[in-house]
Amino acid sequence: MSSSSPTFPTSSPSSVPSLGREAAAAKDAGAALTSLRDRFLLPDGVVYLDGNSLGALPRGVDERVRATVTGEWGAGLIGSWNDAGWMDLPRRVGKRIGRLIGADPAAVHVGDSTSVLLFKTMVAAARLRPDRRVLVLEATTFPTDGYVAAGVADLLGLELRWCDAADPAASLDEDVALLALTHVDFRTGAMFDMAALTRAAHDVGALVQWDLCHSTGAMPLDMGAIDADFAVGCSYKYLNGGPGAPAYAYVAPRLHESMRQPITAWMGHARPFEMGLSYEAAPGAARLASGTPPVLGLSALEAALEIFDDVVLDALRAQSVSLTSWFIELVDARLGDRVEVVTPRDASGRGSQVSLRHDQAYGIVQALIARGVIGDFRTPDLARFGFAPLYVTHVDVYDAVAALVEVLDGEEYARPEYAVRNAVT
């Protein structure tokens, strides 16, 4: 981000009162979920619309990490595995995530990266359907999902079949072992109907794996109600667990006893400290564990998840829909056809982000960042904005669109310093 001070318009440029900043403040006052922004350590003067990539820092996480390092590790040393409850961290964090995804805590494992858990659950699913040879993915899925699936297909001698995002069910037949889809598309924010597609897969005898990275923490989910087989999600986006925070996996309870994951290591053993030569899987989703729990990451994540304790998840979704709808309304009114809204306008078909297409999207994002409005860019031409409902306000949305108008009016995106794509965004 630029070191210069953020620059926002100083006056209300909208001549329509219903689209003005005062209207935004009224929306915040009447929102179903009162903004919890004060629970986060966000810089002053910043509109942060990139929580769908890295969530903001919740208050208390820094103190928790410091206490874990200096008190539990520094003073408690190895005794903290028992005295500070380190061994129980995956279970405690899994219970908190279970509430957010509609899952029994015993069906949730926390502790690996998203990629590792995708691999484990894809292999486990394929092993549960040994007479089937096809993995089905959607072609615009997050690249990691495709890369991992290709590796699993190569390892097990399976076929990788790419489906059409408009109708994934059309690619299902009795050869399919697993349908693996991302619930909310990372580029466009388009959202699949999980229940309908899970039913469609089950109708042909296939299993389903859902990638929930862009869903969890922005809306209520219910893995049990939709009868999902597997799900994987990260915790550093809407869950605010910090960069590289441990991921989680869900396994339907009906599959626990029959599931065989490919990395059978000591922490997935039913009795790890007996140090026996033969492997016996732990009960529940705990059998997905392999190595030692990442204590620092899990401690930070546990503290971050406390923010959700008093949050009504339906209100979370209502706030998300209101924010994204307000953004689209303002973009339509103030920019017209100067940008293309590629995110579904029907709220039932989108997650908590809106993406705009423009051939100078990279420069637009960089110019906005220099103004203190942080979104991100996705190749080749998308400016992407995430609306984390816990801390983004309707006034934030108004200010972001006002800044976007000025960036386009002044052609700030064409500045030479924005021509080279050398940043994470």
Is residue 391 part of the annotated active site? The answer reads no
More reliable by pLDDT, 425 or 120: 120
Is residue 211 part of the annotated active site? The answer reads yes
Which residue type does 105 have? Answer: P
Q: Among the CATH numbers 3.90.650.10, 1.10.3720.10, 2.30.30.90, 3.90.1150.10, which is that of 17-59+312-418?
A: 3.90.1150.10
Average pLDDT over residues 218-234: 98
How high is the pLDDT of residue 17? Answer: 72
Angle at 157 between CA 155 and CA 159, to 5 degrees: 115
d(CA 188, CA 214): 11
More reliable by pLDDT, 243 or 14: 243
**Could you give the residue range(s) of every CATH 3.90.1150.10 domain in the chain?**
17-59+312-418
Angle at which helices 313-335 and 394-409 cross, to 10°: 30
Average predicted confidence (pLDDT) for the chain: 94
Average pLDDT over residues 142-147: 97
Catalytic residue among 64, 120, 132, 237: 237
Catalytic residue among 28, 211, 229, 396: 211
Average pLDDT over residues 241-260: 98
Is residue 91 part of the annotated active site? The answer reads no
Catalytic residue among 384, 385, 413, 418: 384
Catalytic residue among 91, 104, 127, 142: 142
Task: Please say if the pLDDT value at position 12 is more than 70.
Answer: no
How high is the pLDDT of residue 2? Answer: 40
Catalytic residue among 236, 248, 377, 391: 236
d(CA 161, CA 139): 9
Average pLDDT over residues 243-266: 97
**Tens-place pLDDT, residues 110-130:** 999 999 999 999 999 999 999
Tell me the CATH architecture of domain 85-309. 3-Layer(aba) Sandwich (3.40)
Give the pairing type, strands 47-48 and 373-374. Answer: parallel
At 340, which helix (H) or strand (E)? strand 340-341
Bridge partners of 161? Answer: 136
How high is the pLDDT of residue 387? Answer: 98
How high is the pLDDT of residue 16? Answer: 73
How high is the pLDDT of residue 10? Answer: 43
Average pLDDT over residues 387-395: 97
How high is the pLDDT of residue 419? Answer: 80
Q: 32 falls in which pLDDT band (50, 70, 90)?
A: confident
Is residue 142 part of the annotated active site? The answer reads yes
More reliable by pLDDT, 274 or 33: 274
Give percent of the chain above pLDDT 90.
92
**Could you give the residue range(s) of every CATH 3.40.640.10 domain in the chain?**
85-309
| Cβ-contact 324, 354 below 8 angstroms | yes
d(CA 158, CA 42): 46
How high is the pLDDT of residue 9? Answer: 55
How high is the pLDDT of residue 1? Answer: 40
Q: 6 falls in which pLDDT band (50, 70, 90)?
A: low
Is residue 27 part of the annotated active site? The answer reads no
**What residue spans of 18-105 are helical by DSSP H?**
21-29, 61-66, 80-83, 89-101
Q: 13 falls in which pLDDT band (50, 70, 90)?
A: low
The number of beta carbons lying within 10 Å of the beta carbon of residue 116 is 18
d(CA 423, CA 219): 30
Tokens of 26: 């009224």
